[in-house]
Amino acid sequence: MNESIKILGIESSCDETAVAVIEVIGENLDCLASVVSSQVQVHAKYGGVVPEVAARLHVEKILPLIQEALKNADCGLKDIDAIAVCGGPGLISALIIGVETGKALAVALNKPLIRVNHIEGHILSVEKEKAGQIKFPAVALIVSGGHTQLILMKGYGDYELIGTTLDDAAGEAFDKTAKILGLGYPGGPAISVEAQKAGGKNEFNIKLPRPMIESGDFNFSFSGIKTSVLYKWNALKKDFSEHQLEIAKADMAAEFQQAVVDVLVEKAVQAGIQYDAKTIILAGGVSANKVLREQLGKAVENRLPGVEFNFPEMSMTGDNAAMIAVAGYYHAVRKDFADPLKFSADPNWELV
Ligand code: KG4
Ligand code: ZN
C-alpha cells in the first residue's frame, strides 16, 4: 500500500492569509482544503499594500483559517504529518505571523516543520491531482507583483536562475500603469478588463516599446514601458476630449498588456529553446492574465513542438497555501526539514 502524507500549508507573505491541507498518496495529490482570506479590498483604499495593516489582519485571520481548513479537510491537527510555511520572500511583518504560527504548531504537536520559498510555491502551483508530473528540464516563468524570473528546473529542488527583471516586476508594472490610467488597485485585473474594451482596434495607433526583447539574454525591464505610458497619457490628456480619452485609455491598456506579453512570451520561448526544455511553466499572480496564457500557450505549441505547457488553475494563480503545501511535500520527500529554533522569516530570501 502507498504511504499517505498530509501536509498543512501556511502562507502570509503579503496581503493574503492562506491555509491549506493536501494529501499525497503514492502519486495522487489531493487538495483537501484551501482557504484564502484576501485583504485586497482593504489595501485598495491606499493604492497598495500597507505592511502594518497586512500584519494585523494576518493575526486576526490565521487561527480561524487553520480551523476552517482542518474542518473542510475533515481532519484534526493530530492527522497532519508535517507543517509547511512560507518563509519568504515577502513583507517581514506579514511573513512573521505565518512563520511563528507554523513554528508554534510544529513544536506543540511535535511534527516536522518545512520552510518553503514563496517563488518555489508559485512554480509548484502547477501540480494538480498527480505529484511528480513535471518533465525536466523545465523552464519556469514566474510573474508576480514582486518577481519576474526565468528559472531553469533540473528537478524538484534543483533550480537555476537564468533571467530576472532589472527594475520593475511584471505585476508591479501592471499595478503602476493602472494607477497612471486611474484604473485602481490591483492593476493587473483592472488593465485586462480595460484592454478588452479596445476590442483589438487601437484607434489612435498607440505604440509602446518592447524593452530588451532582442537583448539576447533572459533579463527583463518593464519600468520603461510604464514611463512611456505616463508621458503619452499626460500628452493625450492635454489634447483629447473626454470621449477620445475614454477610447485612448482602453487602447493604452491593451497596448501595454500586449507589450508586456510580447516580451514575456519571447524570452520564455527563447529560454525553452536554449535549455532544451521539456516543459514550460507559467506561474505567479500575473499568470491569471488570459492574453498571456493564450499567447504563451500558442507560442509553445508552434515554436516548441512536443513541449508541455503547464500553468495553474485560476484559483491557484494568486497567493495561496496549497502551493506552499505542495512545495513542502517535495521537501518532506527529501527529509529537508527546518529547525523551529533556527527558522525565522526572511523578507529577501531568493530561491536561487
Ligand atoms: O503572486 P501574486 O498574487 O503576489 C505576489 O507574490 O506578488 O501577484 C500579484 C500580482 C499583482 O501585481 C497583480 O496586479 C497581478 O499579480 N495580477 C495580474 C492579473 N491578476 C493579478 N496581472 C495581469 N493580469 C491579471 N489578470
Ligand atoms: Zn505571490
pLDDT digits (tens, 9 = 90+) for 224-237: 999 999 999 999 99
The three three-digit cell numbers of residue 104, written as one number: 508554534
Say if ligand 1 is within 6 A of residue 171 CB. Answer: yes
Nearest CA to ligand 1 atom 1: 285
pLDDT given at position 138: 98
Averaged confidence pLDDT in the chain:
97
Q: Is residue 72 part of a domain?
A: yes
Measured in Å, residue 288 CA sits from the centre of ligand 2 at: 12
pLDDT given at position 183: 96
Say if ligand 1 is within 6 A of residue 90 CB. Answer: no
Q: What percent of the chain has pLDDT over 90?
A: 97
Kindly tell me the burial class for residue 3, based on how many C-beta atoms sit within 10 Å of its own C-beta (0-12, 13-18, 19 or more): exposed
**Per-position DSSP letters for 4-67, written without gaps between them:** EEEEEEEE-SSSEEEEEEEEEETTEEEEEEEEEEE-HHHHHTTTS--HHHHHHHHHHHHHHHHH
User: Which structural domain range is residue 142 located in?
Assistant: 138-311
Measured in Å, residue 110 CA sits from the centre of ligand 1 at: 36
Give per-residue pLDDT as tens, 121-169.
999 999 989 999 999 999 999 999 999 999 999 999 999 999 999 999 9
Say if ligand 1 is within 6 A of residue 175 CB. Answer: yes
When pLDDT is cut at 50, 70 and 90, the band that residue 301 belongs to is: very high
Task: Enter the pTM of the model.
Answer: 0.96
In this structure, are 46 and 156 located in the same domain? Answer: no
In this structure, are 14 and 117 located in the same domain? Answer: yes
Q: What are the Cα distances from residue 264, in Å, to 29, 140, 158, 322? A: 30, 11, 23, 26
Of residues 174, 156, 155, 153, the one with CA closest to residue 165:
174
Q: Is residue 205 part of a domain?
A: yes
In this structure, are 101 and 123 located in the same domain? Answer: yes
Counting from 1 in the atom list of ligand 1, the atom nearest the Cα of 185 is 14
In this structure, are 120 and 153 located in the same domain? Answer: no
Q: Is residue 269 part of a domain?
A: yes
Task: Kindly report the CATH number assigned to the domain that includes residue 105.
Answer: 3.30.420.40
In this structure, are 237 and 124 located in the same domain? Answer: no
Say if ligand 1 is within 6 A of residue 174 CB. Answer: yes
In this structure, are 166 and 221 located in the same domain? Answer: yes
d(CA 346, CA 351) in angstroms, rounded, equals 11
The bridge status of strand 113-117 relative to strand 82-88 is: parallel
In this structure, are 80 and 195 located in the same domain? Answer: no
Contacts of 152 (CB under 8 A, 6+ apart): 137, 138, 139, 140, 159, 160, 161, 162, 271, 275
Q: Is residue 347 part of a domain?
A: no
Q: Is residue 344 part of a domain?
A: no
Q: What percent of the chain has pLDDT over 70?
A: 100
In this structure, are 143 and 110 located in the same domain? Answer: no
pLDDT exceeds cutoff 60 at 1: no
Nearest CA to ligand 1 atom 10: 145
In this structure, are 165 and 269 located in the same domain? Answer: yes
Q: Is residue 115 part of a domain?
A: yes
In this structure, are 18 and 164 located in the same domain? Answer: no
Q: Is residue 346 part of a domain?
A: no
Nearest CA to ligand 1 atom 22: 188
Q: DSSP character for 315? A: G
Q: Is residue 348 part of a domain?
A: no
In this structure, are 326 and 238 located in the same domain? Answer: no
In total, how many domains does the chain have?
Answer: 2
d(CA 336, CA 328) in angstroms, rounded, equals 9
In this structure, are 121 and 234 located in the same domain? Answer: no
Q: What are the Cα distances from residue 34, in Å, to 111, 127, 333? A: 20, 14, 22
When pLDDT is cut at 50, 70 and 90, the band that residue 285 belongs to is: very high
- Among the residue ranges 40-44, 91-95, 207-211, 317-321, the one predicted with the least confidence is 40-44
